Amino acid sequence: MHVDARLLEDQSLIEGDICIIGAGAAGISMALDWLDTPYKVILLEGGGFEYEDEIQDSYDGQVTGQKYYPLKSSRLHYFGGTTGHWGGMCSPMDPVDFTEREWVPHSGWPINRKDLDPYYIKAHKCLQLGPFNYDYGYWSKELPNLRSFPMDEEVMWNKMWQYSVARFGKIYKDALITSKNIHLYTYAKATRLESTSQGEHITAVRITNLGGKTQLVKAKKVILACGAIQNTRLLLVSNNNAPKGLGNGHDLVGRYFMEHLEVPSAEFWLTEPFPTDLYSWTFGKTKASAELAFTEKTQKKYQILNGTASLVPLHIGRRQKPKLDTWVDENPKVAMKNMMQEWENAENRAEKENKGAISRAYQLDTRIEQAPNHNSRVSLGKEKDAFGMLRADLHWELTPLDKRSIRKMYEIIALQMGISNVGRIRLLPFLRDEADEGFPDTVNGGWHHMGTTRMAEDPKMGVVDAHCRVHGIDNLYVAGSGCFATSGAPNPTLTLVALALRLSDHIKELMAKRSL
């Protein structure tokens, strides 16, 4: 069922068994997992079913450190969340991503890849993907012309991607609003978590709307699924009985903010044409494609982060403006339109100016995990939004390991392509000086917010435990990529949905025991 919270009486009480705060990919996936169960599930969405700028404004905040996108337009604040305009790129994290790597400070999860595999399969259904199979050999038989570059499989490999066109706000709206046990409340912005005197139990969720009405939600289990930045805000502002904020006894809430660094890094000049569709994709049409990746053995040998390289025709790549220069509008709809228009303009300019030019050249774009960094963080600013919540401040800070890893990636690719005489690699200027550890302003993020409520068994090392429960609070959980201890190379949506479904199963087990 659906309720517009603006129509409720002021100071009314809403009660249920489970309260999920946030109706994006994580929150909706969890709610769907509870359909037709005997439990009353309350799903709170701060916005409505469509974009509204006055609601979106609550995501605005200040950015310092490495240049970043406007916070207001880096996520979508309405039913369906950022799946409303995501690119749909999906691939699971690699086993190495979950391990403690001596060359990556603060790495290591309390779970491993096998713990997530059953939930990756379930996540595929939510995301309307094909089979949970990311083996190049499988896809090379399923699709035509997926010829691979020759390379030593002990050094490099083809990391496969599948593509989702699922817009959660559209495809799952009817299932939720017609459900008997899922109670969706729109215009129900969670602004504070109420707790017991020692902050060890959540007693209520305070919600409000722009009309000034306030309600309380009471549930046995409370799950934050608002995204890494907004989950952080909600924990930090809930400081009535926890002066530093809930779950923040060790000053970790908001720290270790991570992004995927997405940056043009090199040119790839082929010695002769190499016909293949393996390394290209078209949104809405491509079922699977690959990016060049590096084996665990290679990462360990060269002490580098996990990353991939994708190919863009060079005559187009050279004419594209950095995403940070096109995604500048605070309205995400306008920013998206501007970026897509710029990509189209670059293709048109390339076609017009490329008469007679060599066509056997590509730009190599990096997608790489960011090394966990204690100083890269989300904190509270001094200004309040229209809901009365302090806004977020983001300080995005990179490390020398990030830069060194990108440079080494292309040295490895250059060696592999040179050995097979496929082509030659030319580094872009920002990578040529080995002593230069800085990053230019053209370094992009993937709009992937991760790590701010990181997972660890030790409360001194993370905010949530292996089951995403906030340390020290018996009924508060976090769903989403904020729980990632490291970010891996793939876009986070597939993994965050899998992790949310794993959390859902855990809570079902707890609720079943409670009813015995």
DSSP 114-142: HHHHHHHHHHHHHTT-S-S---HHHHHHH
pLDDT value of residue 62: 97
Strands of 28-170 (E only): list them.
41-44, 61-65, 89-90, 156-163
pLDDT value of residue 227: 97
**What distances in angstroms separate CA 444 from CA 30, 138, 262, one per listed residue?**
31, 32, 5
Which residues lie below 8 Å from residue 423, measured CB to CB, with a gap of 6+? 268, 269, 270, 271, 274, 360, 417
d(Cα 46, Cα 27) in Å, to the nearest integer?
12
Whether 356 shows a pLDDT value over 60: the answer reads no
- Mean of the pLDDT values across residues 44-61? 97
Compare 505 and 340 and report the one with higher pLDDT.
505
Strand 377-384, strand 288-294: pairing: unpaired
Residue 283 burial class via C-beta count within 10 angstroms: exposed 0-12, middle 13-18, buried 19 and up: exposed
Read out DSSP for 241-302? Answer: SSTT-TT-TTS-TTBS-B--EEEEEEEEEESS----STT---TTT-SEEEEEEE-HHHHHHH
d(Cα 4, Cα 23) in Å, to the nearest integer?
14
pLDDT value of residue 353: 62
436: Cα separation from own chain's centroid: 29
d(Cα 264, Cα 428) in Å, to the nearest integer?
8
> How does 133-150 read in b/e, with b if 16+ C-beta sit within 10 Å?
ebebeebbeeeeebebbe
pLDDT value of residue 322: 83
The band of 359, judged by pLDDT with boundaries at 50, 70 and 90, is: low
pLDDT value of residue 354: 58
Give the helix/strand (H/E) hosting 514. helix 493-515
Whether 175 shows a pLDDT value over 60: the answer reads yes
pLDDT value of residue 321: 83
Contact status, residue 443 vs residue 451, Cβ threshold 8 Å: no
Contact status, residue 322 vs residue 442, Cβ threshold 8 Å: yes
| Token pair for 472 | 């020290």
Contact status, residue 229 vs residue 392, Cβ threshold 8 Å: yes
Q: Summarize pLDDT for 263-276 with one digit per residue, the tens.
A: 999 999 999 989 99
Question: Over the chain, what is the mean pLDDT?
Answer: 94
Whether 21 shows a pLDDT value over 80: the answer reads yes
pLDDT value of residue 348: 79
pLDDT value of residue 516: 52
Whether 172 shows a pLDDT value over 80: the answer reads yes
- Mean of the pLDDT values across residues 305-325? 89
Q: Summarize pLDDT for 97-137 with one digit per residue, the tens.
A: 999 999 999 999 999 999 999 999 999 999 999 999 999 99
pLDDT value of residue 274: 92
Contact status, residue 457 vs residue 469, Cβ threshold 8 Å: no
The band of 515, judged by pLDDT with boundaries at 50, 70 and 90, is: low
Compare 96 and 512 and report the one with higher pLDDT.
96
d(Cα 154, Cα 141) in Å, to the nearest integer?
22
Rg (CA), the chain: 23
The band of 358, judged by pLDDT with boundaries at 50, 70 and 90, is: low
| Token pair for 478 | 């976090």
Q: Summarize pLDDT for 188-207 with one digit per residue, the tens.
A: 999 999 999 999 999 999 99
Which residues lie below 8 Å from residue 474, measured CB to CB, with a gap of 6+? 200, 201
Read out DSSP for 333-370? Answer: HHHHHHHHHHHHHHHHHHHHH-TT----EEEEEEEEPP
Whether 19 shows a pLDDT value over 60: the answer reads yes
pLDDT value of residue 327: 86
Whether 352 shows a pLDDT value over 70: the answer reads no
pLDDT value of residue 318: 82
81 backbone φψ class: left, alpha, beta (φ>0; ψ -120 to 50): left
Q: Which of 495, 510, 471 is nearest to 258 (CA)?
A: 495
pLDDT-wise least confident of 162-166, 313-317, 416-420, 469-473: 313-317
pLDDT value of residue 341: 87
Backbone phi and psi for residue 483, each to the nearest 5 degrees, phi listed first: -80, -10
Whether 357 shows a pLDDT value over 50: the answer reads no
